[in-house]
Structure 1
Amino acid sequence: MNKIYSDWFKVDLHIHSDFSNKTKTKDYDGSFNIDILKEKLIENQVKLFSLTDHNIINAEAYKNYYDNFTNGDPVLLVGCEFDIKVKQDDDSFLTYHTLLIFDETTTEKANEIASIIENHLTETNIKERSVSEDEIFELFQPYHFFYIPHAGGHKNIIDAYKDADIRKAQEMVLLMECAHEKVKEKHRLRHQQEFDKLKDPDFRNKKDEAFINFSDNHNCDIYPNPKNGATHEFYCLKGEPTFETLRFAFIDPQSRIRKQQEVDLLKNVKKHISTIEIKGIKDVDDCNIEFSPNLNVIIGGASSGKSLLFNLIGKKIGNNKHDFQKYNCNDSEVLIKASNSQTPQLTLPFNDDEVIYINQGDIVKYFETGDLKELVIDSGRENQLSEAKEKLQSTKNNLLSEFETFKNRFDRFNSSYRKDFIIHEGDFESMTNDKFHFVEFTPSVELIDLTEKERLLENISNNISSLKNDEIFEFNNSENTVVESFENLIKTKKELILQKKLTNESISHFIEGVKTVLDEKNNNLESASRAKKEALSRKQSLLTTCKTLFKQALEFDESCMILEQLKCDNKEEIKVTESVKLILEIENNDQLRQGITNCINGGEIEKSIYENYLVLVRDNNNLKDYKEYTEDRLIQKLKKETKLILNNYDAPRTYLDYGGNGNSKNKSPGFNAEMYLKTILHYEKCKVVMIDQPEDNLGNTFKNEDLINLLRDFKFLKQIILVTHNPSIVVYGDAESIILAENTSGQISYSQLFLENKDFQKLIIDNLDGGKSIFDMRSRKYNIKKLLNS
């Protein structure tokens, strides 16, 4: 199937025939045969070429080719290689070579131009033919042609002018739509800089000097190699094989001229959408749309079906952000095909991280709502987002854990405060009498609970048994010996634990026996001894109760201090690109301390948390909103009064940190939208970018400059599909595929256009606001008026 978008093809506009021998001695090697050349061109997939002999046109070869031309053959443009003479300061002349490629493809025009050359040079020695620039313009003024001078190697324009007036050469080249031929890589930058000096400032440094190399073949039998026998590296143009494609290429070489090696890399693009076959959709004409792997734009008037197609594609690739259902259309017969697939299918699933899908208005909405989750997903950082949110949740859980500790310590403090702190009348007299009693027995032995140790050894035993019987481990004899040795060790430790348990039981029985004996003896003493024992016991109880109260007061105060010092200013950073970070932030404020204080009736923020809660200890009715205090109600109240903070951990404030350019919190929606696009386009895993009218959220400067540069940079790395009404995106972005949506009396149709086709250009202009001026600006690369007046 012929491509219906701008695709790459090989071009060779510098091929000689044996007619060059007429003007240059022994210039052509061997015999020339146009049919053999044609075979070689087809074999090498060259789509556009020219026969450019020295100062002469082989009209017979042109006639032969045109007479036998069939559709699909390489297109032949009339051309010639001229010796251009340049007068030096000493009145001598130096010549350089330039190709003239004409917008002519007929025998009649080849003969006509050949006659002009012969008539003008009839009195000149055929071996010494040359013309001046002025003569070129006078002779061929009625024709459209390209001027392609050698800018490197033998007979180049720089050498011819460097001792004359190099500025004249620069002006002459800039005045025309032309390219430089035969320029080595290391010389290109110098040429670019020199020519930039003469350009209008608006057009400087745009990398738009066209450099292109052709074969300069002098023997069709060895085509495509040049006369010196070196291997030729083809150059490719983007578009269809026409003169208009040349014009577009020389106007926009960065997007439209590539070496074959570079094109091979571009064509080795990642998985992308190849075609969509629309069929059976009500009020939409059946059609087949073929997508470029690069920049595709959907244009058309209001209600023409642009967004319908956009959302249809979204549904067919399984993106959950599509909005196709709103059209109430049945798409069961619509088929879609991937570049790496042989047949169309009902759906073409992509992984979530392979597609960026942005609906109209989405970008600004992200920043308005403060939720940049979609940006993170689109930029391929979803895992990092999950990790960041988990950290914030962990911090929230720690806060809740501190609340629980605070509440538990308060309850213990509160419980101790409410105990009886008493000693009976006469207890001091009883404690000081001279009677004796048997004191309580306090053993120094600390018994250890061995239940967990037994369970641990039992689990190990069971696991060893499973390990030995599992064939997957393939234990050999020596390994089995190690396992058995370990199993015996566990058995030994089981016996040790059993022995320790028996010892513990004996000690425990002994201690209980001693206590029983002491109690019996004390009970048999006289009343004064028993009173002394009871008084001393109550004293010890009072001391223990007081000690416990102060200890629990200190523990509660410790929890109060922790909450006093706790700052809810957590921040997690996700590196999105080298210069952009996504920030998840819990803002620092006094809401935590305020919330804890608010739990108390009459709570005072200037007092410490501990001081405020002493009020609740003295009177449990001071818990706000509750007439009666319970343990559960305190934790409920704490969570309620700090709900805003706790919710922030679940939905933290998100914003973009642009490094030296500030952050999205203090930038306009337009600026943020621009940074968003820059960010997501850098995501390497993404294969397809779909945006419905990106210009709606962007400033004019960004649309016409930065966005265009972004699209041009990334369209050769991933497939881009845009709905747009902005002519700059289409024309300056150099869209490879333009899909025109039209609505005629409610019936929607889609057709495909490409920029370099003259017939299509009017349709494109008619469907884009300001389209004509954009086309004009694209053609006006330089300030020609300034050059003419210089």
Structure 2
Amino acid sequence: MLEDKPLYEAEQNLMTLYKRLRKRDKSTQYVKADLHVHSPASADYVWTNKGPEATEDDEYRLFVETFLESDVQIMAVTDHNSVKGYLKIQELLGLDSALKWRLGKKLILPGVEITCYQQHFVVIFSENTEAGTLNHFLFECGISIEDQGNEEASADRVSPLLLCEKARENKGIVLIAHCDAEHGLLQSFFGRQEELGFKGKSVERILKSSAVYGICYNDPGKLGRLQELKAQFGVDLPLLQASDSHSSSKEYRASGRPLGQRSTLIKLGPLCFRSLCLALRNEESRILHHAPSTRTNPVLLGIAINGGFLRDMDKVQSWAVIPFSEELNCIVGARGTGKSTLLDILKYVLNPQNKAVGTRVIDRFDKAIVFVRTGETYAIVLEPIGLNRPNAKYYVLKGDAFHRLSSNIRLQSSLKRLTNNLRLSEYLTSENIQSYDQKELFFLATMPEGPTLVTENLCALMFREDFARAKRELQDHAIRLISQATVLLKDRKRDPKADLTSPYLESQYKAFVEANRRITQFQREIIDHLNIILCNRLAMKGSLGIALNHKETYEETIEKWRVMNRMQQNAPYEHLIDLRKVLKNLFRDISEDWAVPFYLFTKNAESLAETTGLTSDIANELCGRLCTVVEPTDLLIVPRLIVDFELNVKHGISNEVTYRKRNELSLGQRAVGMLLLILHGATELGETRPLLIDQPEDDLDNVYIYQTLVKEFQRLKKTRQLLIATHNPNIPIAGDAENILVLESDGDSGWVQNWGSIDREEIIKKVLQILEGDREAFMRRAWKYDLA
């Protein structure tokens, strides 16, 4: 339901801020690239203009126009043994500023399809490469200017390996051209023997050249075989499709396909050669062989903050506007620049009832707006007056304006997967698996019930309403059980001979136990599922035990009963020692029908003896001594499934499998195990909400960060949004973050100075400075490692 009312200052600026946010987005995006295209400079190019008045300039102009009208955003001009076509295009653009302006955000790269030992290789250079460098490269390979454009010409001065070396020396990259077709390097591996085809070790050495950045193929049906060949040769090169187009016409019948009909989706930041090179070295996260699927998971589009510690980099702007990628966002900066503050403001706006986070952050900002996409686009505006008056307002984007929601019911329904009415500060202890900092993680990793709490929340994720119903029934019966026991206890105090039980008490206890057993069954199913998901990484275990909250162990309950018994009956010290021993044995020997507190409270010695193996005399004595000290809340002590894990400490280090129990692990290893359970397990079970993490790397060594955390983040970001504050370079760099937010501070305030992917030069400089100690420090280490 929408309402039209006068808007406050923040609300009037919603659309302006939203447009600023979207305009500022510099995260990597998928673009269509065709990296093997012939121009009229190739002898076998099929001209589109065939009339008597057609000129070469007209054909080149039409070639560029075809590129402009296509959905291809990057094109490499790769003529046969020639760079004349690319140079002619540059000459044309230099004379026609209007045409050059129309190219806008498209990119044309210089390249060449070069013949070497009857095999075809595509070499691509930077857009800034000068004509002299391009011609010199061809001359070094044995192709003169006169021979350029002739497919029969050959780079006979060099072998394929030396060709790759020459390309690298001239700052170019090599792609294996149409590997599965005529003159393709891998053609002989598809059943058609080439007279001078390369085999075995020769092919492997070429593919492993540092200059080779990809393998182009024609037939999608051969993709599986190509993956096998990659594994056979031990190379990790991206598989690419390119048109090998030889005409501007969409109807031509010749070699290759029309422009863009065979192409590759590549995720880039800025459209440039350097960005392309980075992408080709990150096939898993940057290359797609099909159109990207539409993401339905909730996404935080960005945040706008007014007042307080965080400001805009442009001091003239009153609002700091910070965009997020829908995949991996890394927040970096020196200590004190506001990384944790940014995450806390996000948490607080998403859940204003979270007083724990509110207490930390309420004085750090005046107003904040979080823009969220989950089906529709929403704006959550928070202008807190105090902890008890967060003053939250909700808006939905309709057309070109945001409209106030008179009730947030619609928003809460739409955002159920995002907020789920959770208290973020308590993380898993309050059924939340979307946000934590490292202290909370270590607390969960070390507390005895940590894995049990995580497992219960995974049950809520997997079994949803069934598990929620069992939890509600457990709570309802617990309330009724305690209430009835309290009534009986009052009657007992008035009349020591009063009945110690009632049919209603027994029925509620049985219902409480049954609900607890259903929850235990859910947990067992989750454990079995997790052991499949986390095979060879984490082994989940479950055993029945007495699990109280972390503030009270069963030993403390036994001691409480013992002290109360001594006070009430003035029992001898020796009897109290014996009592402790008997009770400890009862609390350790647990079965599904264990009900010791209930039998003691109701003075049911017969059932106590029958279910525990005690003699009748001892059971009667225990009931007589303890029936008056067992409190109503003690009836809730029932067998529960205690969950724990063992970690394969060799995972990511070697192929060995060595499991160690949690209590034998270091603090960092326990945290690794908990992260595997939370990140991998939760996502495999269907968790898609944004995940906010503050410095997950603390107290973890780099091998675990790279082998575990980074690889998990690379996998997770495909299905859910990640926002991570970090000081470790492995996470944004090896994790190939789509958006790196660089925070700076002058002591009085902090701001986002730069943002975008590692493709951008300014991001590289800042990451080197902040996370590596600066370029000199990094190079000194690389030199000492003999890697420079």
Normalised-by-shorter TM-score class: 0.5 to 0.7
Find the counterpart in structure 2 of residue 755 from structure 1: 758
Structure 1 position 611 matched with structure 2 position 617: yes
Counterpart contact for 1:249–1:257, Cα < 8 Å: yes
TM-score, scaled relative to structure 1: 0.63
Find the counterpart in structure 2 of residue 713 from structure 1: 715
Out of 185, 201, 206, the position equivalent to 1:167 is 201
Counterpart contact for 2:460–2:468, Cα < 8 Å: no
| Structure with more relative contact order (C-alpha pairs < 8 Å, separation 6 or more) | 1
Find the counterpart in structure 1 of residue 347 from structure 2: 314
Alignment of structure 1 residues 269-284 onto 2, 5 Å: 269-282=296-309, 284=311
- Following superposition, the deviation at residue 177 of structure 1 comes to 4.0
Find the counterpart in structure 2 of residue 156 from structure 1: 184
Find the counterpart in structure 2 of residue 737 from structure 1: 739
Letter in structure 2 aligned against 1:639: E
Counterpart contact for 2:729–2:772, Cα < 8 Å: yes
CA separation of 1:308 and 1:127: change in aligned 2, threshold 3 A: closer
Out of 241, 247, 259, the position equivalent to 1:213 is 241
Distance 1:141 1:406 in 2: 87
Alignment of structure 1 residues 158-557 onto 2, 5 Å: 158-159=186-187, 163-175=197-209, 176-182=211-217, 184-185=219-220, 187-188=222-223, 190-192=225-227, 194-196=229-231, 208-222=236-250, 227=255, 232-239=261-268, 240-261=270-291, 263=292, 265=293, 267-282=294-309, 284-285=311-312, 286-318=319-351, 323-329=357-363, 331-339=365-373, 344-346=379-381, 351=415, 353-354=417-418, 356-372=434-450, 373=453, 376-377=456-457, 380-381=460-461, 384=467, 387=470, 390-391=473-474
- Following superposition, the deviation at residue 65 of structure 1 comes to 3.2
- Following superposition, the deviation at residue 213 of structure 1 comes to 0.8
Distance 1:226 1:4 in 2: 40
Q: Matched residue of 1:695: which SS?
A: coil
Distance 1:691 1:139 in 2: 45
Q: Matched residue of 2:371: which SS?
A: strand
Q: Matched residue of 1:181: which SS?
A: strand
CA separation of 1:319 and 1:739: change in aligned 2, threshold 3 A: farther
Distance 2:333 2:449 in 1: 32
TM-score, scaled relative to structure 2: 0.63
CA separation of 1:224 and 1:722: change in aligned 2, threshold 3 A: farther
Deviations 1:140-179 (A, max 9, x none): 5652111111221222112469854532232123222410
Q: Matched residue of 2:744: which SS?
A: strand
Distance 1:223 1:764 in 2: 49
Structure 1 position 45 matched with structure 2 position 71: yes
Distance 2:278 2:206 in 1: 19
Letter in structure 1 aligned against 2:340: S
Q: Matched residue of 1:611: which SS?
A: helix
Alignment of structure 1 residues 659-670 onto 2, 5 Å: 669-670=670-671
Find the counterpart in structure 2 of residue 444 from structure 1: none
- Following superposition, the deviation at residue 232 of structure 1 comes to 1.8
Letter in structure 2 aligned against 1:313: L
Q: Matched residue of 1:296: which SS?
A: strand
Cα RMSD between the aligned structures? 5.1
CA separation of 1:363 and 1:138: change in aligned 2, threshold 3 A: closer
Find the counterpart in structure 2 of residue 528 from structure 1: none
- Following superposition, the deviation at residue 291 of structure 1 comes to 0.9
Letter in structure 1 aligned against 2:470: E
Find the counterpart in structure 1 of residue 423 from structure 2: none
Q: Matched residue of 1:212: which SS?
A: strand
- Following superposition, the deviation at residue 33 of structure 1 comes to 3.2
Distance 2:688 2:349 in 1: 17
CA separation of 1:400 and 1:278: change in aligned 2, threshold 3 A: closer
Find the counterpart in structure 2 of residue 572 from structure 1: 520
Alignment of structure 1 residues 13-92 onto 2, 5 Å: 13-21=35-43, 24=44, 33-57=59-83, 58=85, 59-67=87-95, 68=97, 69-70=100-101, 72-85=104-117
Distance 1:375 1:775 in 2: 42
Distance 1:769 1:224 in 2: 53
Structure 1 position 587 matched with structure 2 position 614: no
Find the counterpart in structure 2 of residue 8 from structure 1: 30
Find the counterpart in structure 2 of residue 143 from structure 1: 170
Counterpart contact for 2:647–2:673, Cα < 8 Å: no
Distance 1:576 1:35 in 2: 63
Gaps (5+ residues) in structure 1?
Answer: 86-94, 417-551, 617-621, 625-633, 786-790
Distance 1:585 1:389 in 2: 22
Using the aligned pairs only, state the percent identity.
Answer: 15
Counterpart contact for 1:99–1:148, Cα < 8 Å: yes
Q: Matched residue of 1:128: which SS?
A: coil
Distance 1:174 1:122 in 2: 30
- Following superposition, the deviation at residue 106 of structure 1 comes to 6.2
- Following superposition, the deviation at residue 612 of structure 1 comes to 5.8
Find the counterpart in structure 1 of residue 154 from structure 2: 130
Q: Matched residue of 2:301: which SS?
A: strand
Distance 1:123 1:229 in 2: 28
- Following superposition, the deviation at residue 370 of structure 1 comes to 3.9
Counterpart contact for 2:47–2:59, Cα < 8 Å: no
CA separation of 1:736 and 1:375: change in aligned 2, threshold 3 A: farther
Distance 2:777 2:682 in 1: 28
- Following superposition, the deviation at residue 691 of structure 1 comes to 0.9
Distance 1:300 1:128 in 2: 56
- Following superposition, the deviation at residue 615 of structure 1 comes to 7.7
Distance 1:700 1:389 in 2: 43
CA separation of 1:149 and 1:728: change in aligned 2, threshold 3 A: same
Distance 1:623 1:273 in 2: 61
- Following superposition, the deviation at residue 673 of structure 1 comes to 2.1
- Following superposition, the deviation at residue 56 of structure 1 comes to 1.8
Letter in structure 1 aligned against 2:239: F
CA separation of 1:122 and 1:7: change in aligned 2, threshold 3 A: closer
Distance 1:215 1:228 in 2: 6
Q: Matched residue of 1:53: which SS?
A: strand
Counterpart contact for 1:371–1:653, Cα < 8 Å: no
**Larger fraction in helix:** 1
Q: How many residues align?
A: 598
Distance 2:229 2:416 in 1: 48
Letter in structure 2 aligned against 1:768: L
Distance 1:110 1:360 in 2: 52
Question: Which moves more between the two structures, 307-316 or 358-367?
Answer: 358-367
Alignment of structure 1 residues 545-694 onto 2, 5 Å: 572-573=520-521, 574=523, 575-576=525-526, 578-579=529-530, 585-587=544-546, 610-611=616-617, 635-639=627-631, 646=635, 648-649=637-638, 654-656=642-644, 669-674=670-675, 675-694=677-696
- Following superposition, the deviation at residue 79 of structure 1 comes to 0.8
Counterpart contact for 1:66–1:106, Cα < 8 Å: no
Letter in structure 2 aligned against 1:80: V
- Following superposition, the deviation at residue 325 of structure 1 comes to 3.7
Distance 1:323 1:224 in 2: 64
CA separation of 1:41 and 1:659: change in aligned 2, threshold 3 A: same
Q: Matched residue of 1:222: which SS?
A: coil
- Following superposition, the deviation at residue 228 of structure 1 comes to 5.7
Counterpart contact for 1:78–1:110, Cα < 8 Å: no
Q: Matched residue of 1:302: which SS?
A: coil
- Following superposition, the deviation at residue 218 of structure 1 comes to 1.8
CA separation of 1:776 and 1:733: change in aligned 2, threshold 3 A: farther
CA separation of 1:191 and 1:684: change in aligned 2, threshold 3 A: same
Distance 2:132 2:352 in 1: 55
